[in-house]
Amino acid sequence: MKAAHFKSIRTLFMTAILGLPGALIAQETIPVMPVNPETKLITYQEVLTVDGLKKELFNRAIEWINVNYKNPAEVTKVRNPESGLIEIFHRFDLDRTDNNGNIVDAGIVVYTLRLDLKDGRYRYKITDMSLKQSSRFPVERWLDKTDKAYNPNYDLYIAQLDKQVKELIESLKKGMQPGIQKKEDVW
């Protein structure tokens, strides 16, 4: 009886010790999400200075959209060159590892990307993210570890979401840079 009891305690102790580094690593990789203090929504926003008039920046943004989205006309709900406003509604796919170690679909997060363009600068704002399901599920709920419905996979989803948004932002920044001026072929 004592040997079995000791063995179960030892197994429990070893499981806790071996699982601890993974738990610590998982906590370290969870990004701090940019939450707007007024709206309480996760919001990525930045104003960037770039050469070009509003019309040029608008054209660069449309060119970027055409390259980065499969159906650009469908994702852009607002394209207003006069006001310099473009609104994009799109989605990110999430995945997770199931009990067998297979990567499986974990859902789709929809988001809004708003571009405000002015002479020499533009602002992007990525927000209104929610998990696509039968009813709206704001992704901000993934941040509340005290929620009784909290799932440890939420940390993984937050990390994926942050990574995908940051990749989108980097792509946008590259797309908004002035193109290389071609020299006119004079002959």
Residue ranges of the chain with per-residue pLDDT less than 50 = 1-28
Q: Counting beta carbons within 10 angstroms of the beta carbon of residue 63, is it exposed (0 to 12), middle (13 to 18) or buried (19 or more)?
A: middle
Q: Give me the residue spans of the domains in the chain.
A: 33-175
Which CATH number describes the domain made up of 33-175? Answer: 3.30.530.80
Q: Write phi, then psi, for 102 (nearest 5 degrees).
A: -90, 145
Q: Which two tokens stand for residue 5?
A: 């009891």
Give the model's pLDDT for residue 19.
Answer: 41
Angle at 173 between CA 170 and CA 175, to 5 degrees: 110
The tokens 């070893």 sit on which residue? 14
pLDDT of the residue at 7? 40
- Three-class DSSP category at 132: coil
> Which among 176, 185, 88 is positioned nearest to 127, based on CA atoms?
88
Cα–Cα distance for residue pair 16/60, rounded to 1 Å: 53
Please give the sequence-ordered ranges of beta strands (E in DSSP) within the chain, or none if there are none. Answer: 44-49, 76-80, 85-97, 103-118, 121-131, 137-138
Measured distance CA(9)–CA(20) in Å, rounded: 16
Nearest CA to 126 out of 91, 158, 96, 156 is that of 91
Euclidean distance between CA atoms 43 and 34, whole angstroms = 6
pLDDT given for residue 181 in this prediction: 55
- Residue 84 carries which DSSP code? T
The pLDDT, as a whole number, for residue 180 is 59
Q: pTM for this structure?
A: 0.75
pLDDT tens-place string over residues 69-114 = 999 999 999 999 999 999 999 999 999 988 898 999 999 999 999 9
Determine the Cα–Cα distance for residues 151 and 147; give it in Å rounded to an integer: 9
